[in-house]
């Protein structure tokens, strides 16, 4: 084995052979707040939102790169600003997706309301701007958001100078899976999130009615709710 191979072997052996130390999380950590050692931040419960610009492969294939970049840029900007306004912490951008974590007593309601507001921004801000700029363009922005809550274990991964945080927990996986569901609904939340919603994130319209539709377990193996509603920003 080469010296380089020995270095990889040592790192793997040290990682597997070293016990993890943890501290209770109070705020959403960033990549600079953790070392590349076996040291993690844990949350008893944290709510994860995963927003995904749907059908982006077709967007890139059918349209000019500058047009696709405009769509990416505006969707991620609006989503990011809305996340921050609803007390969420952005943890990662990944191409046409953004992940955020919400903490505190209203974390589930904040995340659910955030999803409805991102839907509003797409329908009432981004789509009209596309029509105004390109009157003959038929492109329609489709996006989906998943939200779930669970205990979370956060650790730093990667190499020095090119590292990121990994969010280990059901909420991160489930939110991403819900954001990959069909476009029949724009927003999806788990039953664990739904049962914790405040009225202002659960009911809408006049007279008030539930904005979330019970979709049962489906293929995911856990109960989810979907919504096509939007909430103004």
Mean pLDDT, rounded, for 150-173? 93
pLDDT digits (tens, 9 = 90+) for 1-41: 899 999 999 999 999 999 999 999 999 998 989 998 999 99
pLDDT at 183 over 90: no
Helices (H) and strands (E) in the chain, counts: 8, 11
What is the average pLDDT score of the chain?
94
The domains found in the chain, sorted by start residue, are 25-227 (3.30.70.1230)
> For the whole model, what pTM was predicted?
0.94
Sign of CA dihedral 12, 16, 17, 23: positive
Please state whether beta strands 39-53 and 21-24 pair in parallel, antiparallel, or not at all (unpaired). Answer: parallel
Q: Name residues whose C-beta falls within 8 Å of residue 79's C-beta, 6 or more positions apart in sequence.
A: 51, 98, 118, 121
pLDDT digits (tens, 9 = 90+) for 80-110: 999 999 999 999 998 899 999 999 999 999 9
Q: Which of 174, 169, 219 is nearest to 194 (CA)?
A: 174
Q: Looking at per-residue confidence, does 218 or 176 come out higher?
A: 176
Mean pLDDT, rounded, for 118-122? 97
Q: What is the pLDDT confidence band of residue 62, given thresholds at 50, 70 and 90?
A: very high
């Amino acid at each position: 084995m080469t010296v380089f191979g020995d270095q990889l072997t040592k790192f793997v052996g040290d990682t597997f052979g070293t016990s993890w130390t943890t501290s209770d999380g109070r705020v959403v950590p960033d990549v600079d707040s953790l070392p590349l050692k076996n040291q993690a931040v844990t949350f008893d419960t944290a709510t994860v939102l995963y927003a995904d610009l749907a059908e982006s492969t077709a967007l890139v294939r059918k349209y000019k790169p500058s047009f696709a970049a405009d769509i990416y840029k505006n969707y991620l900007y609006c989503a990011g600003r809305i996340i921050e306004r609803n007390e969420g912490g952005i943890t990662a951008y990944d191409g046409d997706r953004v992940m955020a974590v919400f903490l505190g007593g209203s974390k589930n309601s904040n995340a659910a309301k955030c999803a409805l507001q991102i839907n509003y921004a797409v329908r009432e801000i981004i789509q009209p701007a596309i029509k105004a700029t390109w009157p003959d363009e038929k492109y329609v922005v489709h996006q989906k958001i998943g939200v779930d809550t669970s205990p979370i274990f956060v650790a730093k991964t990667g190499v020095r100078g090119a590292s990121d945080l990994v969010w280990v927990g059901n909420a991160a996986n489930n939110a991403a899976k819900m954001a990959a569901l069909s476009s029949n609904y724009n927003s999806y939340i788990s039953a664990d999130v739904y049962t914790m919603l405040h009225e202002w994130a659960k009911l809408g319209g006049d007279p008030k009615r539930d904005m979330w539709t019970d979709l049962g377990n489906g293929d995911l193996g856990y109960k989810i709710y979907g919504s096509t509603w939007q909430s103004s920003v």
